[in-house]
Structure 1
Amino acid sequence: MKPTDEALAERRARVAKRWELTDEVVLLRAGEPASWSGTDQHFAFLPHPDVAYLTAVGSPGTTLAFDAAAGEWELFGPRFSPERLVWEQPPTPVGRPLDELGDWLAERGDRSVIELGAGAEMPETLPAAAAKAESDTPATDGDDQPSSAPDDSTPEQVDASPATMVVRLGAAIALERITKDPAELDDIRCAAAASASGFDWVYANAAAGMTEREIQVGMEAQFFAAGAPRVAYDSIVASGSHGAYLHYVYAGDDPLRPATRTVEAGDLLLIDAGAQFGGYASDVTRTMVVGADPTDEQEFLWKLVLSAQQQTIDMCRPGIVWREVHLASARILGAGLVEMGVLRGDPAELVTQGAVALFFPHGLGHLLGLSVHDITSVPYSRTPSDDPVLSRLGPERVLAADMVTTVEPGVYFIDALLCDPARREKFADSVVWDRVDELRGFGGIRIEDDVLVTDAEPEVLTAAIAKPIRIG
């Protein structure tokens, strides 16, 4: 559902209130297509998510302008020349012609202009500016206030240099995007429904003897047939040992002559894929045994991962610190690996020392929205952790109603981690290496859903996508 003009006006008003500008002019640019080197072609274009959020427009060149002195927003959209119209269909006209932006700026004299969105120069780290954005007067009151809960201390004074302002204003938009309004949730639900069509095709058709690529093409065709204009990210269709590569994708080895593995009976098949709708992503992972009953190890670990997911989904409620949800999943997985004879010791201590992270080396999940890993472009105040358990977690967050997060625990047997002599020595007392060596080549198991945090029970937006342990 495209947001109404009233809904867009509300988004812009909340952002403007959080900015607290007085005289500046802000330009948010959607960006332009990037060209392929040495060709006359371009990569597929997606607008900067901040511009998509505030305009619901996806055309290249779209620019949203804000005059802080007048408190007014102005939208500018591209218009094609007759010569260009010979080759390309025109974008839907929106706002004023982009050619008028220069005159609009000239009318505002020599006032400071801050550029955001595509092309904005974003410093790698400006924690003070980001901290100020989080601790400034909130854009909403009461129950609508994002509960990312900065402390009550006086924020550090930051300068008003252009680089600092880019970070502060960008972080303010991000804080509004963290929670989703009804129009956004409708698009995420549509993306999830299209994803369900693709996974249903996999369950009905994937079999031993097919290649990973054949399965990927068949699944994605159903995404598109269900109305999705594109996939949310490169689909991961990984069989056997390929499942141990967290981001295994077709053509990842050689884009010119990619290889694809044939699925064998008894293989684990890990599929991490999702459709996109209205610019909003879905993100789903299922792992199945193909063409045979699961082995004892496959069934034990599959049920372990599912249990970890079910228990941590139930924790996704307002006021819960995300780090605690992640650590709970790690303890559950650690206890299972002890029971299986892969680890030895107390599960909580195994998590703390990093032994569990050898088999669960990623965060439990991430925010979802206009980007698959949403709200990651702004450097927040949280300093990345050196802790092996927490290093993959994003900025510290307290869950709030209307946030959408993935929940995706997994267990993997990754040679790059498990065959490293330094790690073998470090974890000699915690890891049963002989048992690990028996499981090399196992691949990995991950189960992922998209979860809406509500004031009541968590809502699994991808609940319609079944979780079979065996197909084919």
Structure 2
Amino acid sequence: MKPTDEALAERRARVAKRWELTDEVVVLRAGEPSGWSGTDQHFAFLPHPDVAYLAAVGSPGTTLAYDAAAGEWELFGPRFTPERLVWEQPPTPVGRPLDELEEWLAQRSDRTLIELGAGAMMPDVLPAPAETNDESGSDGTAAEAGELAPGAAVLRLSAAVALERMTKDEAELDDIRRAATASTAGFEWVYANAAPGMTERDIQVGMEAQFYAAGAPRVAYDSIVASGSHGAYLHYVYAGDDPLRPATRTIEAGDLLLIDAGAQFGGYASDVTRTMVVGADPTDEQQFLWDLVLSAQQQTIDMCRPGAVWKEVHLAAARILGAGLVEMGLLRGDPTELVTEGAVALFFPHGLGHLLGLSVHDITSVPYSREPSDDPVLAKLGPNRVLERGMVTTVEPGIYFIDALLGDPARREKFAESVVWERADELRGFGGIRIEDDVLVTDGDPEVLTAAIAKPLRIG
């Protein structure tokens, strides 16, 4: 649902408090459409998420301004000329006409102006983060912009908005739940219709049609519909091989089908992955690894509680997966040591999950937390947050047989004692298994927002 005026005022007040500004003027721009090179067409437009969060609107050109001296916010929205209205439907009028922004700024021309949102220039050299929320317990706020170089001020103030966006209010959660409901319709269509002989593209089109029929205005990201060995590419998407003449694979009986897809509603994303065997009973390897991934997901979802350190949740998943790979005869040794040395990461090479909100990988454009780890086991982890009530995170463990990793001579030499290479080579071409849900951190048990989407092992 669209937030009420009172809810928007509360968001803005929290952000202004974090900013700790006294006399500055801040302008947040939603942005303008970006054109396709060499054509008169444009990419689909989405507003900068900070503007969407603080204004709940996002037509191109929409601008939100803040006068720190007065403690007042002003919204400016585009108005179309009669000539433009011949070709395009007008955006919903919001705030003051956008052409009044220039005069509004001119009246404050003696003040420091800080531009945020679309087009804001980040510094080449980043200062220390404003707030880390890591296990050090730091709880700082954005420094006064007047004490910082212009680029650093942009970073600090953008980071402050990001910190507020991390925890979701009821209006945001309502939109994420509606996105999850639309995603449910798409996955239910897959379960009822996917069969050998269909192509990956057939399934993608049928699934996404149900997203739209259920009220979603768009998909949250390019849908991943990967069958067989394609499931070993973590971000396998249609037309990734050749945008002009894309290929699509026909599904055979017994193939694994990995679908990572989600609808969007009100600007908020859902993000769901299911992996199924199509048209045949699972093999022993498919059954074992699917059960292993599901067990890792269930155990780590239960860890998503206030105060949990995300790194520890990720490492718990890696140890569970590592123990299973030892049991299966793919790895040898102690699971904890296999995680530490990086052997498990050959088969689980990504982070356990990410925050979800106005972007499917939410709050990633602002370096609001510590520098990424140079530890190869944790390099893809993302910021090492302490989970808080109101955060929404994905939990998505997986096991993959990736040729680029398993065939690399340097890795084969490094892990000669840890990996049973004969067994691993037998499973090259297997693809991958990932299971993912969207999880709300609460004061009690975690709430799985995508729990209505079933997890069948076999379909078709």
When normalised by structure 1's length, the TM-score is 0.95
- Find the partner of 1:151 among 134, 138, 141: 138
Instruction: Determine helix, strand or coil for the equivalent of 1:134.
Output: coil
Are 1:30 and 2:30 an aligned pair? Answer: yes
Match of 1:71 in 2: 71
Are 1:363 and 2:351 an aligned pair? Answer: yes
- Does the Cα contact within 8 Å between 2:131 and 2:138 map onto a contact in 1? no
Deviation per residue, 1:334-372 (Å, 9 max, x gap):
000000000000000000000000000000000000000
Change (3 A) 1:124 1:401: farther
Q: 2:259, 2:351 → 1: CA distance?
A: 18
Match of 1:52 in 2: 52
- Does the Cα contact within 8 Å between 2:271 and 2:394 map onto a contact in 1? yes
Are 1:4 and 2:4 an aligned pair? Answer: yes
Q: 2:253, 2:271 → 1: CA distance?
A: 27
Match of 1:299 in 2: 287
- Structure 1 counterpart of 2:364, one-letter code: T
Instruction: Determine helix, strand or coil for the equivalent of 2:131.
Output: helix
- Does the Cα contact within 8 Å between 1:27 and 1:116 map onto a contact in 2? yes
Match of 1:134 in 2: 131
1:109 Cα deviation after fit = 2.6
- Find the partner of 2:213 among 216, 225, 233: 225
Are 1:325 and 2:313 an aligned pair? Answer: yes
Are 1:242 and 2:230 an aligned pair? Answer: yes
Deviation per residue, 1:101-121 (Å, 9 max, x gap):
000011113211000000001
Match of 1:142 in 2: none
1:366-381 equivalence runs, <5 A: 366-381=354-369
1:395 Cα deviation after fit = 1.3
- Does the Cα contact within 8 Å between 2:201 and 2:248 map onto a contact in 1? yes
RMSD: 1.6
- Structure 1 counterpart of 2:138, one-letter code: D
* Percentage identity across paired residues of the two chains: 85
Q: 2:157, 2:97 → 1: CA distance?
A: 25
- Does the Cα contact within 8 Å between 1:127 and 1:382 map onto a contact in 2? no
1:147 Cα deviation after fit = 8.7
Q: Structure 1 stretches (4+) deviating beyond 6 angstroms?
A: 146-149, 152-158
Change (3 A) 1:156 1:118: closer
Q: 1:76, 1:64 → 2: CA distance?
A: 6
Point out where structure 2 has 5 or more consecutive residues left out of the alignment: none
1:123 Cα deviation after fit = 2.7
Point out where structure 1 has 5 or more consecutive residues left out of the alignment: 136-145
Q: 1:177, 1:465 → 2: CA distance?
A: 26
Match of 2:391 in 1: 403
Q: 2:205, 2:363 → 1: CA distance?
A: 30
Match of 1:425 in 2: 413
Are 1:267 and 2:255 an aligned pair? Answer: yes
Change (3 A) 1:121 1:154: closer
1:85-124 equivalence runs, <5 A: 85-124=85-124
Q: 2:185, 2:136 → 1: CA distance?
A: 38
- Does the Cα contact within 8 Å between 2:19 and 2:141 map onto a contact in 1? no
Change (3 A) 1:360 1:449: same
1:151 Cα deviation after fit = 2.6
- Does the Cα contact within 8 Å between 1:149 and 1:398 map onto a contact in 2? no
Instruction: Determine helix, strand or coil for the equivalent of 1:92.
Output: coil
- Of the structure 1 ranges 102-111 and 406-415, higher mean CA displacement relative to structure 2 is found in 102-111
1:152-301 equivalence runs, <5 A: 159-301=147-289
Change (3 A) 1:127 1:363: farther
Deviation per residue, 1:286-325 (Å, 9 max, x gap):
0000000000000000000000000000000000000000
1:388 Cα deviation after fit = 1.5
Deviation per residue, 1:197-243 (Å, 9 max, x gap):
00000000000000000000000000000000000000000000000
When normalised by structure 2's length, the TM-score is 0.98
Match of 2:373 in 1: 385
Match of 1:140 in 2: none
Q: 1:215, 1:125 → 2: CA distance?
A: 45
Q: 2:185, 2:296 → 1: CA distance?
A: 26
- Find the partner of 2:329 among 334, 341, 353: 341
- Does the Cα contact within 8 Å between 1:281 and 1:372 map onto a contact in 2? yes
Q: 2:142, 2:11 → 1: CA distance?
A: 25
Q: 1:176, 1:357 → 2: CA distance?
A: 32
Q: 2:141, 2:28 → 1: CA distance?
A: 30
Change (3 A) 1:124 1:464: farther
- Structure 2 counterpart of 1:14, one-letter code: R
Q: 1:379, 1:231 → 2: CA distance?
A: 26
- Does the Cα contact within 8 Å between 2:135 and 2:309 map onto a contact in 1? no
Instruction: Determine helix, strand or coil for the equivalent of 2:44.
Output: coil
- Structure 1 counterpart of 2:73, one-letter code: W
Q: 1:241, 1:148 → 2: CA distance?
A: 39
